[in-house]
Amino acid sequence: MKELIIATKNKGKMKDFIGLFEPFGIKVYSLSDLSEPVEDIEETGTTFQENAAIKAEAVCRMFNIPVIADDSGIEIDALNGAPGVYSARYAGEAKDDLANLEKVLDELKGVPEEQRTGRFVCVLAIAQPGQKTIFKRGECEGTIGDQAIGEHGFGYDPIFYPAGSSRTMAELTLEEKNQISHRKNALDKIENWVKQL
């Protein structure tokens, strides 16, 4: 079976990726799956693209093989695009999914439904030895609810209604999320690269 390293330690992202790469017959490994421990990579960028590049290129240099990184987040229009690039740490360095979504719900208190629009964004970076890094962006439009509903997924999934859906992203099965997500939409754009692996 073909193998690929994803430069992430996020278990929720990895679940998505395992499902997304399975149809290609590719087994994906996160940085937590490797026998050599990889130190946390500091995300010093101010854009998804910068952070995706930092993660993919650092791990590509370590192992000298092609690596994919995902930098992602949720942009909420009524919050001027926040949490955006800072989604993982919105409520503090602990990267606490529940605290993050509660902070968003708090900040959106009193904001009417039609103004609760936003989107998930995913930028994938492919770093390959001796080559320029490639970037592809995927988005998933939707609205933000007023309470957390659903057990699947991670992050802000329990408060995010994909456009046209009466269920939150966390009420969808992994297979359903993987048909419409920002991650799927970004991965579709590198399908040819994935197929030639």
Would you call 71 a catalytic residue per the annotation? yes
Does 96 appear as a known binding residue? no
Binding residues vs ligand CZF (CB under 6 A): 8-10, 13, 43, 55, 70-74, 87-88, 100, 120, 153-157, 160, 181
From the list Mg ion, ligand CZF, none, pick the one residue 155 interacts with, judged by a Cβ distance below 5 to 8 Å according to partner type.
ligand CZF
Report the C-alpha gap between 112 and 114 in whole angstroms.
Answer: 6
Q: Where are the beta strands (DSSP E) in 7-110?
A: 26-29, 67-76
Does 177 appear as a known binding residue? yes
Reduced to 3 states, what is the DSSP secondary structure of residue 58? helix
For ligand CZF, the nearest residue by Cβ is 155
Which residue, 44 or 196, has its beta carbon nearer to ligand CZF? Answer: 44
Report the C-alpha gap between 48 and 51 in whole angstroms.
Answer: 5
Task: Please pick, among 33, 71, 77, 97, the residue that the annotation labels catalytic.
Answer: 71
First to last CA, the chain: 11
Binding residues vs Mg ion (CB under 5 A): 43, 88
Reduced to 3 states, what is the DSSP secondary structure of residue 60? helix
Contact between 186 and 138 (Cβ < 8 Å): yes
Does 36 appear as a known binding residue? no
- Annotated catalytic residues are 71
Binding residues for Mg(2+): 42, 71
